[in-house]
Amino acid sequence: MEWYVSWVSNNILLSAFIQFAALGTLGEVLGIVASKRKPSNKAFEWLAKAVVWGLLGVLVKYSFTGFKGFLAALVDKGFLPAACEDITILRALSLSVLTNSMFGPLLMVLHRTSDNLIAWTRGYKGIEKSLATLAWFWVPAHTVTFALPYEYQIGLAALWSVALGLIMGFTKRRS
């Protein structure tokens, strides 16, 4: 894993882009297949989706970094107890709650908007299900993510996208 740590450390934004472009798109395809729908055969559409996933990965990288500073400032000013920074699991949970409650909804709407632009569609039908994943999936998932060393956090966040794609796909299959 030394090569991976070296690669993400030396290519911070590029590695976030590539990991999300590959794994986010894979999660989306697997979700469609799991739901027993047929994936689009339009290469341009999938290329555009991969680019969007990559750009979202860069935004996630910025948010992960920024919310660490935000948490530190909240503790420094006494808005949160010092334990939220000092105890690893509380730090991870605090970062996850802050990130997913403040940045998560924006990311979901941005992602849906980009999907609409790519597919030449409109509307936000079903976005409430996506927003609900912030509480039942992303807060616990990112608590685990933020408990890991810094170098592994974006990679795991991108892997979580694959897991959620499958979960959502199987959920749509039953509906």
In the chain, the percentage of residues whose pLDDT exceeds 90 is 93
Residue 146's nearest CA partner among 83, 108, 101, 94 is 94
Its sign, for the CA torsion 42, 43, 47, 48, is negative
**What's the chain's average pLDDT?**
96
- Which pLDDT belongs to residue 38? 86
pLDDT at residue 175 greater than cutoff 60 = no
pLDDT at residue 165 greater than cutoff 80 = yes
Taking CA atoms, 139 is separated from 92, 96, 101, in Å, by 10, 5, 9
- Which pLDDT belongs to residue 66? 98
- Which pLDDT belongs to residue 39? 84
Q: Which amino acid is at 20?
A: F
